[in-house]
Structure 1
Amino acid sequence: MIKIIRKNALTLAIFAAITTGLIAVIHYITECVAKNQILFQQKKLLDQVIPTELYDNQIQQECYLIKDKVALGNNKFHHLYLARKGNTPVAAAIETVAPDGYAGPIQMLVGATFEGKILGVRVTEYHETPGFGDKVELRVSNWINSFNGQVVHDANDKDFAIKKDGGRFDQFTGATITPRAVVNATKRTTLLIKTLPDKLSSLPKCG
């Protein structure tokens, strides 16, 4: 009887060990796949705000942390991705926030050169009203591409605003708060990017 119990206990122990090992392997594989998918989507998004022909470094590995409540919409650290050409910094993309969206903060990614030329803007998260404020998303309209190639000269650049405020950017029919928030956040973030050459050496690297 004792031998049978011992045999069954050993069988269960072996089975448990095999099962635990399989679970660990599956978890590792799944985690790797998920991580690679996140990196792929991140690179895809970065390529939309900084064209790949402008840089030759591994932009995702050139990640820094930057904090600026006024320019970036809150007092948290934001990711900054640096683009280099021949080891010379040429542009940057910063995760930023438009805190004054109609339905709450709007998460964005802004890419620009250090001369203030905008290379691309994408809205990554928002809660705006479908049919009105959601036109900031590329899937809904091409409005977000109106930033491409625009230059922010300085903080007093009144042309960098929606048309209702005397600027060059279209607002949406029945909705001005959302596009105004995105335009202003893009302007503030681009102005911050213009100041980066003097700050890069002091910025902490990501993770």
Structure 2
Amino acid sequence: MTERDPVAPDAPEPKAKIRDWKSSPVVLGLMLGLFSLVSAVMLAVANDTTRGPIAARAAEDLLASLEQVLPAELHDNDPTADIRRIEDGEEGAVPVYVAARGGEVTGIAYELTGYGYSGAIRVLMALGTDGTILGVRVLSHTETPGLGDKIEVGKDDWILGFTGRSLADPQPDGWKVKRDGGVFDQFSGATITPRAVVGTIRRGLALFERHRPELVAPLPAHS
């Protein structure tokens, strides 16, 4: 009898080994970690790349808005450079853009946020040193197009009606929309939006009165 070689067990196929390797929890974890790392690096690079242009655009938009509410003839300084930060018990920290001529304050502007039908409404308002409104603009909102967006100066002149008003004009009870017993018009089919803007401007006037001395104090001499 001839000696027969023992029958070797079937060796696993290479493809099966690859499948087992790919499905290993350790390998899957490493692949997930690598993917997360690459994604984080890409996001960081994109953020660094766009941060400068975004900040520049925001500064341009702010300057354009300030020019609409702070008349150029009122100041010889750059209100975006002369900023006072006030701490208020109701509004929190508020940056204030100061307009001045010869170091004497002629007007101030700041932004407050109200909440309308669809979310936040950012309102920029400027006041003279006597507390009279120089101008108001809505910087951003998400209100319903065709209804709530009439708070934009490009859509309606409603926002211009606040110019020249003050905390005493109308009296406090008048700082509401007409539906609530005040003097300001609401929009047909949209009362919540103008109500929010009127209330925000009223808050801004009250903020000025609480901090009038520090807001109208002369600017420090520039070296």
Q: What is the TM-score of this pair, normalised by structure 1?
A: 0.71
Structure 1's unaligned 5+ residue stretches are: 1-26, 202-207
Alignment match of 1:183 (pick from 187, 198, 204): 198
Shift of 1:172: 0.3
Q: Matched residue pairs, number?
A: 170
What CA RMSD, in Å, does the superposition of the two structures yield over aligned residues?
2.6
> Taking CA–CA contacts closer than 8 Å with sequence separation of 6 or more, which of the two structures ends up with the larger relative contact order?
1
SS at match of 2:183: coil
1:83 counterpart (77, 99, 120): 99
Aligned pair in 2 of structure 1 residues 152, 197: CA closer, same or farther (>3 Å)? closer
Distance, in Å, in 1 between the alignment partners of 2:211 and 2:99 is 12
Q: CA deviation at 1:34?
A: 5.5
Partner residue, 2:32: none
2:211 & 2:171 partners in 1: Cα distance? Answer: 19
Measured in 1, the distance between the counterparts of 2:51 and 2:150 equals 34
Which structure has the greater CA radius of gyration? 2
1:65 aligns with 2:85: yes
Q: CA deviation at 1:81?
A: 0.3
Percent identity, aligned pairs only, is 37
Residue-by-residue CA offset, 1:45-81 (whole Å, 9 max, x unaligned): 10111111111222111112234363x4xx4x33210
Question: Contact (CA 8 Å) 2:174, 2:181: kept in 1 or not?
Answer: yes
Partner of 1:94: 110
| CA separation of 1:170 and 1:39: change in aligned 2, threshold 3 A | same
Q: Indicate conservation of the 8 Å contact 1:114/1:196, yes or no.
A: no
Bigger shift: residues 184-193 or 60-69: 60-69
Q: For residues 92 and 182 of structure 1, what CA distance do their matches in structure 2 show?
A: 19
Question: What's the CA shift string for 1:71-124, capped at 9, x where partnerless?
Answer: x4xx4x33210111221112110111113x111221111111232211111111
Counterpart contact for 1:113–1:194, Cα < 8 Å: no
Shift of 1:38: 3.4
Paired residues of 1:110 and 1:120 also in contact (CA < 8 A)? yes
TM-score, normalised with respect to structure 2: 0.67
Match of 1:125 in 2: 140
For 1:134 and 1:44, the matched residues in 2 are separated by 20
The gaps in structure 2 that reach 5 residues or longer are 1-47, 218-223
